[in-house]
Amino acid sequence: MLWHAGSAEEEHEYLTVLIKAFSDLGYVEGKSIEFLHKFPAEQLNRYPILAKELVESDVDVAIAVSPAAAVTFKQITSTIPVVFVIMPDPVSAGLVSSLAHPGGNMTGLSTLTIDLSGKFLALLKEAVPNLSSVALFVDPQYSIMQPGIIPAYTAATKTLGLAFRSVAISVPDAIEPAFAQAQSDHVDGVIATGPIFFNERARVGASALAHGIPTIGLQAEMVPYGVLISYGQDFPDYFRKAAGYVDKILRGAKPADLPVEQPTRFKQVINLKAAKALGLTIPSSLLITADEVIE
């Protein structure tokens, strides 16, 4: 398993879900299955090194958690089956021939390059009265895989008459200063997209609350740390399904014949504790549509 964070502790939520999924399928660690975990800590130069170590270990199946991991495996092996977990557009990235017929040694789950700009902005506008200025905090790794994200937000905010800026954040230490600058510039809301914001969810939530800025993210797992709202795929379910792909491959299925799965539902979570700290009253219309409300 080639992850994207720097340790098992940072990946605790998803790693735990994944290992339990294998257990639920009847695998016993140390007896019927062995896991090799590699943690690149979001350092792009580390992915090829760690992926090569896994390939040279002659693993039966590799799990690529992040887009960078999947692309790296594509470059170094055409024989070892690879299951990707979080991949915006595997066809455009050249990982598979098509979603229905992958055709090579890779398959898995696609998050699709769905433009969520309109939905994110609608949620912010509903939660934040008099929203007039929005900042998009974007992980450069994520924007490389989804190049249309900044133009989409630029167009959507223009249509709504909102001031907009994008801020590239590639290192954890840049998160708090970015929130401080947003507060100084009277930004009314922040959208945080990319792996670094999940890895640093505690820092994101703390900074958002410290500087009084309502923040929305993609992963529900960010919300308990102080993010106001999340809207996106059910990522724990993605990891459960990834284990299912591996199980099928270990039982003889070929990745080339296993269709890439696309998202069928999106999960919305609201943090009322964060809303109170921010001085916001979340309207009942927004609470009704939430899948989960943290009080």
Q: Say whether pLDDT at 244 is over 70.
A: yes
**pLDDT tens track for 27-52:** 999 999 999 999 998 788 999 999 99
Residue 73 is classified by DSSP as H
- pLDDT confidence bin for 194, thresholds 50/70/90: confident
For the beta carbon of residue 156, count every other beta carbon within 10 angstroms.
20
Q: Tell me the pLDDT of the chain averaged across its residues.
A: 93
| Pairing state between β 267-271 and 229-232 | antiparallel
Identify whether the C-beta of residue 126 lies closer than 8 Å to the C-beta of residue 285.
Answer: yes
CA distance 293 to 295: 6
Compute the average pLDDT of residues 43-68: 95
- pLDDT confidence bin for 256, thresholds 50/70/90: very high
Residue among 16, 15, 11 nearest 42 (CA): 11
- Classified as helix, coil or strand, 208 is helix
**pLDDT tens track for 135-184:** 999 988 666 566 678 899 999 999 999 999 999 998 999 999 999 999 99
**E strands along 29-168, which residues?**
62-64, 82-87, 106-110, 133-138, 163-168
| Residue, of 233 and 73, whose pLDDT is higher | 73
Output the CA torsion 174→179→180→186 (10° steps). Answer: 150
Nearest-Å Rg of the Cα atoms of the chain is 19
Residue among 101, 193, 190 nearest 147 (CA): 193
Extract the tokens encoding 220: 């529900």
Give the chain's domains with CATH numbers. Answer: 12-111+235-257 (3.40.50.2300), 117-232+267-294 (3.40.50.2300)
32: exposed, middle or buried (Cβ count in 10 Å: 0-12, 13-18, 19+): exposed
Cα dihedral sign, 14-146-259-53: negative
CA distance 156 to 117: 7
**pLDDT tens track for 85-118:** 988 889 988 999 999 999 999 999 998 766 788 9
